[in-house]
Structure 1
Amino acid sequence: MRPARPEPPRKVARPAHAAGRAPNQVRIVGGQWRRSLLPVADKPGLRPTPDRVRETLFNWLGQDLAGWRVLDAFAGSGALGFEAASRGAADVLLVEQDAELVRSLNASRERLKATALRVQRGDGLAVLRSAVPGQYDLVLLDPPFNSRLAGSSLAAAARAVAAGGWVYLESGEVAPEPPEGLRLHRQARAGAVHYALFQAA
């Protein structure tokens, strides 16, 4: 008598983020907190900047941001702002509207003892528009994916950034034409992510 055939393995349900959602952690790629992990909540439109994109951005900027004033206007996981603080930025403001994400950002700030980093709950675009002209050396713009905030946030950042400073924009579409006061420095694409770095005149 033949032995019974083993049952075929059952299909295991994939975790939700395997279908294109954000993983539950993102890794800081450089600076004093290199390899430290930041939690990522499962939120609509939240897509943390991929490691290789962040690495490219800080290669463009230079790895030493000592003394820089930085605004991360749509902080989300905080990956971009924490990268800037990790590389020595003197003052980094993370702005986030979601209360749960604000709590998570504050917890990461305390865990890493990131004293140069502040977290503010609010509307990133409104904070940009209310900034003192030339207040920041670097403005990081990664609005919720497909939110169509790229153009308006870039225009607001052009006023908030200091002469010679930088504005980084990441979105699901090709960067718009730079507003008056900014010039395109570099741009690239990684999958569905388009990213560009502008410099203030």
Structure 2
Amino acid sequence: MRIVGGNFRGLKLADVGEGDARAHLRPTTDRVRESIFNLLINGSFGNPIPGARVLDLFAGTGALGLEALSRGAARLSLVDDGTAARALIRANVERARALGVSDIWRRDATRLGPNRGPTYDLLFLDPPYGKGLGERAVASAIEGGWLSDGAVVVWEESRPPLLPAGLVQLDQRRYGDTVVTIARMVAGG
């Protein structure tokens, strides 16, 4: 697994192998990650990455968030409650030399609680497939005030997700067994 574009392009990330089913580690492939970032950068909805504050829920290896940093995001917060995942995230943040612009939080993404800091402009989430965790995590982020008006949400799942009130779908694509949905937080959502 490597960063596929931007300042960190070619950076080899910590090896996960085929993933870790017990820890729910199923890294986004380089191909799917590259497709996601091509959609974000070249989509008709405007590139949300430059200068963005990024929240990566169910961060796993941190690859999605680090890819955003590589392409010009200003700040990254990575959330995962798995011990194996946080070790991989920490190793990858160190490899990218991104400790000064990254936070790694041990937290249940489905129960974020109230946000006590600035809001986020870009949200990535890649929850364990088929468990409804993505819907709960997005609802928690909205209820807790984590997302700015106009924030872009990039959601990986095995099926099209049920978007909660406040989100409007911008695009949706299938890559093998992964459905990528891109949505925007509407003002006052």
Tell whether the structures are fold-level matches, with TM greater than 0.5.
yes
Count of residues paired in the alignment: 174
**SS of 2:13's equivalent?**
strand
**1:90 paired residue among 63, 71, 74:** 74
Q: Indicate the percent of aligned positions where both proteins have the same amino acid.
A: 37
**SS of 1:39's equivalent?**
coil
**SS of 1:130's equivalent?**
coil
The unaligned stretches of length 5 or more in structure 1 are 1-25
Where does 1:87-166 land on structure 2 (aligned, <5 Å)?
A: 87-114=71-98, 115-127=100-112, 129-131=113-115, 135-159=119-143, 160-166=146-152
**SS of 2:124's equivalent?**
strand
Distance 1:157 1:40, change over 3 A: farther
The alpha-carbon deviation at position 100 of structure 1 amounts to 2.5
Question: Any conservation in 1 of the 2:14–2:91 contact (CA below 8 Å)?
Answer: no
Task: For 1:43, give the aligned amino acid.
Answer: D
- Distance in 2 (CA, whole Å) between partners of 1:157 and 1:197 is 16
Would you identify which runs of 4 or more consecutive aligned residues in structure 1 move more than 6 Å? Answer: none
**SS of 1:109's equivalent?**
helix
Does residue 43 of the first structure (1) align with residue 20 of the second (2)?
Answer: yes
Question: Any conservation in 1 of the 2:127–2:133 contact (CA below 8 Å)?
Answer: yes
Per-residue Cα deviation, 1:45-96 (whole angstroms, up to 9, x for no partner): 3211122222222222226723211100111011111111111211100111
Structure scoring higher RCO (CA < 8 A, sep ≥ 6) equals: 2
Structure label with greater radius of gyration: 1
Question: Any conservation in 1 of the 2:127–2:156 contact (CA below 8 Å)?
Answer: yes
Task: For 2:111, give the aligned amino acid.
Answer: A
Question: Any conservation in 2 of the 1:173–1:194 contact (CA below 8 Å)?
Answer: yes
What is residue 155 of structure 2 aligned with on the other side? 169
Distance 1:50 1:111, change over 3 A: closer
Per-residue Cα deviation, 1:110-143 (whole angstroms, up to 9, x for no partner): 222113122112212222x432597110111111
Question: Any conservation in 1 of the 2:61–2:92 contact (CA below 8 Å)?
Answer: no
Distance 1:110 1:65, change over 3 A: same
The unaligned stretches of length 5 or more in structure 2 are 42-46
Q: TM-score, normalised on structure 2? A: 0.83
Question: Any conservation in 2 of the 1:28–1:35 contact (CA below 8 Å)?
Answer: yes
Alignment RMSD? 2.0
- Distance in 2 (CA, whole Å) between partners of 1:50 and 1:111 is 19
Task: For 1:27, give the aligned amino acid.
Answer: R
The alpha-carbon deviation at position 187 of structure 1 amounts to 0.3
